[in-house]
Amino acid sequence: MLTVYHYLVLSGILFALGTYGVLTRRNAIVIFMCIELMLNSVNLTFISLSSFLNNLDGQIFVLFIMSVAAAEAAVGLALMIAFFRNKESVEVDEFNLLKW
């Protein structure tokens, strides 16, 4: 019997994978993709709970999360292009313009 706990455990595993990627990778675009992975695992949690509790509110929040992720993608990738133009790289070790 498929229960809500299966989905919660799966999204926990995906969230931990995303955390590991954000903390260990050096390429900013890959870090960005790992953040998308974390957002998606939270979406899975929302939808599974909303489906098992017969309540639609969680799915509405998933729509909002998706639109925020789209806005984040647009702004973040524009930032990376602007950064690449100055430094010829998108490695986070080189991101030290705000250091003093």
- What is the footprint of another protein within residues 62-81 (CB under 8 A)? 62-64, 66-75, 77-81
Cβ distance to another protein smaller for residue 1 or 98: 1
Residue 9 within binding range of another protein, rule CB under 8 A: yes
Residue 60 within binding range of another protein, rule CB under 8 A: yes
Residue 10: partners with Cβ closer than 8 Å, 6 or more residues away = 44
How many C-beta atoms lie closer than 10 Å to residue 62's C-beta?
19
Single out the residue of 16, 46, 15, 32 nearest to residue 81, CA to CA.
32
Residue 35 within binding range of another protein, rule CB under 8 A: no
Distance CA 40, CA 65 (A): 9
**Closest CB 94 distance from another protein, rounded Å:** 11
Cβ distance to another protein smaller for residue 47 or 100: 47
